Amino acid sequence: MEGREAIVGKILSDAEEKAAAIRADASARAETLAQDARRAAEESLAAGRRALETQAAEIVARRETVAALDVRKALLAAKRSVIDEVFAGALASARAFGKAKYCSVLEALLERYAETGDEVYLAADAPVGEKELVSCKAFAAKKLRFAGRMELSGGLRLENDVCVKDLSFGALLEAERGELEREIAAAVFPAEK
């Protein structure tokens, strides 16, 4: 039996050695797989961080762009407000002309825009009346007719069978606003281009 026990012992010993070798190989492969998994996880984590950093930078850049646009819009609105105030001041100043200056302006308007036989409406708050208007040279020369007063932002209004010409100071300023805005902006905001 000794021979049998020796054979069984040898088989068991060989089996244990093989099992130990298989366990060692499995353990080494498990360790390699774990290292590969850790390395892949670290690479994935690093790639995720890089992607998040890129996204964060893009978000910051977009927000900075939007903020810059908001600042430019606010600045433009403030400039628009200043220009509106300049036009409002110009209109108020024109409406407050004294009689002599007002008559001079009316004379120039009649000379330039009136057509023979036009009816002339004077602004209700004009500092001059029918007498001063009728005394304008263009009034008699173009055979104009005084039609009364009406609510206008200063100045006058001409009417005939063909057209109506609003020559109120407000309408005249508004008609020139596009061109005047550039000049006003250049004068008020000289550092801007």
The reply to whether 74 falls in a domain is no
pTM of the predicted model over 0.75: no
Task: Tell me which residue range forms the domain holding 154.
Answer: 97-188
Q: Which structure tokens are listed for 26? A: 């499995």
pLDDT tens digits for 9-43? 888 788 888 888 888 888 888 889 889 889 988 88
Other CB atoms within a 10 A radius of the CB of residue 188 amount to 13
| Percent of the chain at pLDDT exceeding 70 | 98
The reply to whether 132 falls in a domain is yes
- The CATH number of whichever domain residue 117 belongs to comes to 3.30.2320.30
Residue 155 is given by DSSP the state S
The reply to whether 111 falls in a domain is yes
> DSSP per residue over 59-128, as a string?
HHHHHHHHHHHHHHHHHHHHHHHHHHHHHHHHHHHHHT--HHHHHHHHHHHHHHH--TT-EEEEETT-SS
The reply to whether 152 falls in a domain is yes
The reply to whether 23 falls in a domain is no
The reply to whether 106 falls in a domain is yes
SS3 of 165, please? strand
pLDDT tens digits for 37-92? 899 888 888 888 998 899 999 999 999 999 999 999 998 898 889 888 988 998 99
In the chain, the number of structural domains is 1
Q: Which residue has the higher pLDDT, 168 or 3?
A: 168
Other CB atoms within a 10 A radius of the CB of residue 145 amount to 12
Contact (Cβ atoms closer than 8 angstroms) between residue 162 and residue 60: no
